[in-house]
Amino acid sequence: MGSLADEVSVLVEGGKATAGATLGAALGPLGVNVGQVVQQINEQTKGFAGMRVPVVVRVDPATRSFTLRVGRPPVAALLLKEAGQAKGSGKSKTETVGDVTMDAVQKVAEAKGSDLEGNDMDAKMNQVIGTCVSMGLTVDGQDPRALLKERLAARGAR
């Protein structure tokens, strides 16, 4: 990092950042208005309520101005929100904790966008379905492993 700007990376709950220990301690010495930073973070992350969101605050010490870069919550957090669950299964091979629709899978893939690997939406959706496997979530009532096999076989047949 150059000496022209300082960066502070934090993980905040969507819409609920505070000027407490983490942000206050990191930003205070940089001379920015911590209240303004918190207000902007909350404004930009309110759509991710209940999820942890990565945020990078970049501060120019000369002008005491700042810019925010708000990341996207992890695929797992987006899936849990869609499934209405607090957490995934600790025993995903044997325990199912919820179900998501294929529409929800597509919505998560679209929300993550370029954060996911893959050249097309189909490949990105397969990644999201793969995450369902490790979390103990079914997709439209189906085992995500079987669904992935089906989708990959159909893709190979194209």
All structural domains of the chain with their residue ranges: 6-70, 75-157
Name residue 68's beta-bridge partners: 57
Contacts 24+ apart (CB under 8 A), 32-39: 32/57, 32/59, 32/64, 32/65, 32/66, 33/64, 36/66, 37/66, 37/68
The pLDDT tens digits for 5-51 are 789 998 888 899 998 878 888 888 888 899 999 999 999 998 888 88
DSSP state of 121: H
6-70: CATH topology is: Ribosomal protein L11, N-terminal domain (3.30.1550)
The CATH homologous superfamily for domain 75-157 is Ribosomal protein L11/L12, C-terminal domain (1.10.10.250)
The yes-or-no answer to whether 6-70 and 75-157 have a common fold is no
Q: CA 151, 73, 7, 41: dihedral to nearest 10 degrees? A: 140
**What is the pLDDT, as a whole number, of residue 1?**
39
